[in-house]
Amino acid sequence: MRFNITNADRAVNPTEMTRAMLEAPRTTVDANDHTSLLDLTLGPSWDRCEIAPRDTNKLQRLALNETRNGKMFKRLLKNAKSYMAKDDPKWFSRRTYYAAARGETDIVKYMIEEERVEVNDDRSADTPIFLSRDPVEFLKGFKLQDRPATFLSVAARGGDEDTVKVLLDAGAEADHAIEFAAMCDSRTLVRLLWERSGNDAVQGAFVTAVDREDTGMFNLLRELGAKVDDDVRVALIEKAQEEGLESMVRLLDHDARVSAAKIS
């Protein structure tokens, strides 16, 4: 479904157009920024129409949440900022999260630079891949992919290099982003993140590589200088054996022998 805005529509029935937009299926907005209709709501002629302010606000908020067009987003937010900040002050951080997840780099950058969204506000949401380190226990199944994450981690999960760089330049802490970079098989992001990542996150990247039976990612981490902790290796060998990941069993056994030889 698409809205075709004609001159007759503009002159005669903006009220019905607003209702149609507000009642349209969500996928309608996902597929189309509806620039013509939004231009109408932002124009001076709109003030002469019998449209309840709450409907105009609702329409603009819907568009702000769904548009991927950076220029349209800025126009809408300039007009809506006063009531958005009052009605839902946490919206700015939440919208930045969605922009990071969807690779909307321009919107992420705008929210950080112009709206002063703090890139590390959501660090408490970043969930490690380890349920426990003593003994070693991992997240499994859908929890591995869909666990709560920071702006940086969701950008890495989507493999969006530009958004990741914007967030890092703004001071985002790496936390567990490297695990998500390994999950989406982005060699570039793993290289970018590994020196900024703590040991648990690097161990998590190894876990992700084994879980995906990704020997290339495992070897890349080793080439970068990362090492598998002994307790993690033991748990990963057991996991690989249980799941029939023979290539990973061989790789982990080889890694254990190489590490032992270096120690001796």
The whole-number pLDDT of residue 147 equals 81
The whole-number pLDDT of residue 146 equals 75
User: 233: pLDDT confidence band, cut at 50, 70 and 90?
Assistant: very high
User: SS3 letters for 201-214?
Assistant: HHHHHHHHHHHCCC
The three-point CA angle 59-14-80 to 5° equals 30
The mean per-residue pLDDT over the stretch 242-260 comes to: 93
Instruction: Inform me whether the pLDDT recorded for 22 exceeds 80.
Output: no
Instruction: State the chain's mean pLDDT as an integer.
Output: 82
Instruction: Inform me whether the pLDDT recorded for 142 exceeds 90.
Output: no
The whole-number pLDDT of residue 261 equals 82
Report pTM.
0.79
The mean per-residue pLDDT over the stretch 1-25 comes to: 43
The whole-number pLDDT of residue 206 equals 96
The whole-number pLDDT of residue 141 equals 67
Name the residue with higher pLDDT: 29 or 145.
145
The whole-number pLDDT of residue 7 equals 42
The whole-number pLDDT of residue 226 equals 94
- 57 burial via Cβ count (<10 Å: 0-12, 13-18, 19+): middle
Q: Over pLDDT 70: what percentage of the chain?
A: 77
- Nearest Cα neighbor of 214 from 188, 189, 179, 182 is 182
Query: Per CATH, which fold does 123-263 belong to?
Result: 1.25.40
The whole-number pLDDT of residue 43 equals 60
The whole-number pLDDT of residue 172 equals 95
Name the residue with higher pLDDT: 89 or 29.
89
Domain ranges of the chain: 7-89, 123-263
The mean per-residue pLDDT over the stretch 207-231 comes to: 95
Name the residue with higher pLDDT: 12 or 62.
62
Helix (H) or strand (E) holding 127: none
pLDDT, tens only, 29-86: 444 555 555 665 566 554 545 545 566 778 888 888 888 989 989 988 988 888 888 8
Kindly give, in sequence order, each residue whose CB lies less than 8 Å from that of residue 219, ignoring residues fewer than 6 positions away: 251
